[in-house]
A and B are shown apart, each in its own frame.
Chain A
Amino acid sequence: MALLEIKNLSRSFGGLQAVSDISFSLVEGMIKAVIGPNGAGKTTLFNLICGNIPLSAGTIRFQGQHIERLKSHQIAALGMSRTFQNIKIFPGMTALENVMVGCHTRSRAGFIAAMLRLPQTFREEREIRRRSLELLELVEIPQTADCEAASLSFGQQRAVELARALAAGPSLLLLDEPAAGLNIYETAELARLITKIKELGVTILLVEHDMSLVMDISDEIVVLDFGRKLAEDIPARIQQNRAVIQVYLGDDEDA
């Protein structure tokens, strides 16, 4: 069964059809990339899946459950995590605390329990801390734990965001242009990291402009153009696809 199943998804803004009749699905354990020139509807598609904006038509099923009417925090609680194109790190918090926020759905302490610092809250807190430190190690920046997250380098902030997204223990991870703003070395590091995350059993959907990264790590690619699905295939065949080359790879290699 597909982990994520999108059927006839559409969204229009006024007269503009940003996403139009898109269908595809994600099998558990794969990395799927969504590519397309600027304005193709990639970000809108992402926001629709996450529940950030309501859809106009179509269905989205996650783990067999319809999620198109759920709010984004409810979808996150079901096991879908995401990162943001323009990093949304929580300022004024350390890298570790940022990752600890990611553990939100795996912990329970409410206002009363937290204010009274009940024993189970105390234990839970210790577990959150332990898990978050482990995740910082996974993304290979354990040394930044106590640094203010906003003071870290761009690449490190991406890593914090990844660790934060993983903290919830998601079954699906959505990466919104993870390589944006990274240099080639950092991008290579990122590719290795994403592969490592995949090996942990996390399914990944990513939107990306960096073609080398996409071709490197993706199992399948969906190409969008003007809000429509142009092609869906394995990377090797996408590179051969005449229509894709024409609208995208051909004219706009480094978009």
Chain B
Amino acid sequence: MGISKRNIPVLLLIALVVIVQLITAGTDTSFYLTQLTMTAYYSLVIIGLCLLMGYAGQLSLGHAGFFAIGGYVSAALTTHNLIGLRHNQLIELLNKTGLLSMGQDIYGEKILTVIPWAACLAAILVTIIIAFAIGKPVLKLKGHYLAMATLGFGIIIFRFAMATEYFGEADGISGVPPFHLLPGLTVSGDFGARISNYYIAWGLVLLGMILSLNLVNSRVGRALRAIHGSEEAAAAMGINASRFKLYTFVISAVFAALAGVMLTHYNGGIGPSEASVMKSVRYVAIIAIGGMSSLWGALCMGVILNFMSLRGMFGSYDGAVFGAILVAMMLFAPDGILRLPLLKKLWRKNGPARN
């Protein structure tokens, strides 16, 4: 492989991530890193959704639901005190295998909770199961019908989070403990860990980006684009369209859930707004403005818009801005901003044309 043309954007991204951190350190503006870290996790959702929407051509208006499933499962497992169930055989077994940890809450009471690593894996597992169960029937639908079905799924998750006591109802879950990834690397909102968390988040984005770029430039990626073009023709090439769509759906759900887990541990909590339909619409709008089948376009737009939104630049009109973006994109630039005639020329000449 070497340093092929394809690796240049990845190297540029690494450089940019480092440069931005150095600038904030040099100008004493490292408070920006908090929003940049959160932006990175939202970008992870967008990368996964871009595989599904942009490449496989399957719309999902329920991806905030998967983000929330990841976040909520991890939050619930790491905060709910199991001390009362200590003598339950299953809990005892889990405790012996080291999947639980004993700690103290702020009042000095003993609490027994699932360790974040185990909670994270459980969250991903639950997501995979739900994504398979939802994706299998729903992906038989096309166009508007698929959009409506995934929208329905998103609403169910949102209302479920709002209504379930275990998930904190409208308050959500707070007091989620830090996630010790590796010795010396902890996902938490602690001020001292701001820089390392910025790099953890962007490291994950980079990893997600590399895996996704590999995927779209492979046999599988071609199969997905073929399905997008014509399912009938794809089937005539021997492509099992329903399987490829389902797997892509599950992978994109896992991206979203992982982002949910990480951001929840970073923020120390999660609330039902993360599951709201407005969040799903935002993800879709960002992918549309990024050019649908462009991972780099989606990432760029995701970073810019999420950062502006998190800095409060859209004020109380935050949701309206993303709605307006979606309308404007569909009307004026259905192929994304980067494919507008003027920019397209530049893009063609200088950039990677199709990944």
Q: Evaluate contact between A88 and B219: CB separation under 8 angstroms.
A: no
Binds A, one of B179-187, B232-240, B326-334: B232-240
Binds B, one of A3-11, A61-69, A120-128, A205-213: A120-128
Question: 1/0 per position for B1-37, CB-CB distance to A under 8 A?
Answer: 1000000000000000000000000000000000000
Q: Could you say which interface size class chain A belongs to?
A: 35 or more
Q: Evaluate contact between A104 and B229: CB separation under 8 angstroms.
A: no
Which A residues are CB-close (under 8 A) to B212? 115
Which A residues are CB-close (under 8 A) to B218? 109, 114, 117, 121, 125
Q: Evaluate contact between B220 and A88: CB separation under 8 angstroms.
A: no
| Residues of B117-168 contacting chain A, CB below 8 A | none
Instruction: Report if B251 contacts A (CB, 8 A).
Output: yes
In the complex, what's the smallest C-beta–C-beta distance from B7 to chain A, in angstroms? 11
- CB < 8 Å: which of A71, A93, A110, A125 contacts B229? A93
In the complex, what's the smallest C-beta–C-beta distance from A250 to chain B, in angstroms? 35
Which A residues are CB-close (under 8 A) to B225? 90, 92-93, 97, 101
| Residues of A85-128 contacting chain B, CB below 8 A | 88-93, 97, 100-105, 107-111, 114-117, 121-122, 124-125, 128
Which A residues are CB-close (under 8 A) to B248? 111
Question: 1/0 per position for B287-324, CB-CB distance to A under 8 A?
Answer: 00000010000000000000000000000000000000
Q: Evaluate contact between B240 and A73: CB separation under 8 angstroms.
A: yes
Which A residues are CB-close (under 8 A) to B228? 90, 92
Instruction: Report if A38 contacts B (CB, 8 A).
Output: no
- CB < 8 Å: which of B214, B219, B229, B237 contacts A168? B237
Q: Evaluate contact between B235 and A88: CB separation under 8 angstroms.
A: no
Which A residues are CB-close (under 8 A) to B230? 88, 90
Instruction: Report if B215 contacts A (CB, 8 A).
Output: yes
Q: Evaluate contact between B220 and A110: CB separation under 8 angstroms.
A: yes
Of B215, B237, B251, most buried by chain A (CB within 10 Å of CB) is B237
Instruction: Report if B176 contacts A (CB, 8 A).
Output: no
Q: Evaluate contact between A76 and B220: CB separation under 8 angstroms.
A: no
Distance A104 CA – B235 CA, assembled complex (angstroms): 10
Instruction: Report if B110 contacts A (CB, 8 A).
Output: no
Question: 1/0 per position for B190-230, CB-CB distance to A under 8 A?
Answer: 00000000000000000000011011001111110110111
Q: How many inter-chain contacts with C-beta < 8 Å in the A-B complex?
A: 107
Question: 1/0 per position for B69-89, CB-CB distance to A under 8 A?
Answer: 000000000000000000000
Q: Evaluate contact between B215 and A111: CB separation under 8 angstroms.
A: yes
Instruction: Report if A239 contacts B (CB, 8 A).
Output: no
Q: Evaluate contact between B237 and A101: CB separation under 8 angstroms.
A: yes
Instruction: Report if B345 contacts A (CB, 8 A).
Output: no
Q: Evaluate contact between A97 and B222: CB separation under 8 angstroms.
A: yes
Q: Evaluate contact between A101 and B223: CB separation under 8 angstroms.
A: yes
Which B residues are CB-close (under 8 A) to A101? 222-223, 225-226, 234, 237, 239
Instruction: Report if A82 contacts B (CB, 8 A).
Output: yes
Instruction: Report if A72 contacts B (CB, 8 A).
Output: yes
Asked if A104 meets B233 with Cβ closer than 8 Å, knowing A114-B218, A115-B211, the reply is no
Q: Evaluate contact between B239 and A73: CB separation under 8 angstroms.
A: yes
Of A72, A110, A121, most buried by chain B (CB within 10 Å of CB) is A72
Please name 15 pairs of A and B residues whose Cβ atoms are closer than 8 Å in the assembled complex, sorted by A: A52-B235, A71-B240, A73-B234, A73-B235, A73-B236, A88-B232, A88-B233, A89-B229, A100-B222, A101-B226, A101-B237, A105-B237, A108-B219, A109-B218, A111-B220
Chain A contacts to B: CB under 8 angstroms: 50, 52, 71-74, 76-77, 81-82, 84, 88-93, 97, 100-105, 107-111, 114-117, 121-122, 124-125, 128, 164-165, 168
Chain B contacts to A: CB under 8 angstroms: 1, 211-212, 214-215, 218-223, 225-226, 228-230, 232-241, 247-248, 251, 293, 354
A-B complex: 7 closest residue pairs judged by Cβ atoms: A114-B218, A105-B238, A90-B229, A76-B238, A88-B233, A115-B211, A72-B235
